[in-house]
Amino acid sequence: MAMMNEPDEAIRTANQPRLREAFAAHQAPDFAATAVAKLTSVVDALEAERGVDDRIGVLGFCFGGSYSFALALADDSVKAAVPFYGSTQPEEVASIHCPVLAFYGDQDQRLMDGLPVLEAAMADAGVDFTAKFYADARHAFFNDTNPNSFDPAAAGDAWGRSLEFLAAKLG
């Protein structure tokens, strides 16, 4: 908890990979089960809303990016997923039944190192998966409150691509 409340932005940024890893679904299965159950209850509520008409997508950043993958794995009602710098276990991706557009900064070494394995697993599973990475961008390149990682050009491009993808996949 101390890391999350650290006043120094650079220290918080440096500690983010440790926090993400500690609460990743494969590292914290009890937490993941609770989080995914809550997320699927939101999907259920959306399905009951008038006008949604089976057009449910998920978009998340960092920790939320990883749980965007988790929700796409767990709930077939999700018709499109857009994880920003999220990750998932390659051996689980066969359960994803929706298209995925994922964004990464090429300076995010941990995620970039795992990307070829993830792309191969997605291809083997027949998942419609597109990974877009940005040169010289770091993890959290979309976070405009973090001057250590924010990349306005990458963020703007990724947001435009996200909106186009969701419009194309959800109508």
pLDDT tens digits for range 97-118: 999 999 999 999 989 999 999 9
User: Residue 4: its pLDDT value, please?
Assistant: 57
Phi and psi for 10 in degrees, rounded to 5?
-65, -40
Enter the tokens of residue 121: 């697993």
User: Residue 20: its pLDDT value, please?
Assistant: 60
User: Residue 11: its pLDDT value, please?
Assistant: 72
Helix 63-74 vs helix 9-23: angle between axes, to the nearest 10 degrees? 20
User: Residue 88: its pLDDT value, please?
Assistant: 92
Q: In terms of pLDDT, which residue wins out, 6 or 1?
A: 6
User: Residue 111: its pLDDT value, please?
Assistant: 93
Contact (Cβ atoms closer than 8 angstroms) between residue 106 and residue 97: no
To the nearest whole number, what is the mean pLDDT of the chain? 90
CA quadruple 145, 151, 153, 157: dihedral sign: negative
Q: Summarize pLDDT for 64-95 with one digit per residue, the tens.
A: 999 999 999 999 999 999 999 999 999 999 99
What CATH number labels 9-170? Answer: 3.40.50.1820
Longest dimension (CA), the chain: 45
Taking alpha carbons only, the member of 131, 130, 25 closest to residue 74 is 25
Contact (Cβ atoms closer than 8 angstroms) between residue 83 and residue 69: yes
User: Residue 63: its pLDDT value, please?
Assistant: 86
Phi and psi for 37 in degrees, rounded to 5?
-60, -40
Percent of the chain exceeding pLDDT 90 equals 76
The Cα–Cα gap between 69 and 60 comes to: 9
Contact (Cβ atoms closer than 8 angstroms) between residue 84 and residue 158: yes
Q: In terms of pLDDT, which residue wins out, 5 or 105?
A: 105
Q: In terms of pLDDT, which residue wins out, 30 or 24?
A: 30
Q: In terms of pLDDT, which residue wins out, 23 or 9?
A: 9
User: Residue 42: its pLDDT value, please?
Assistant: 96
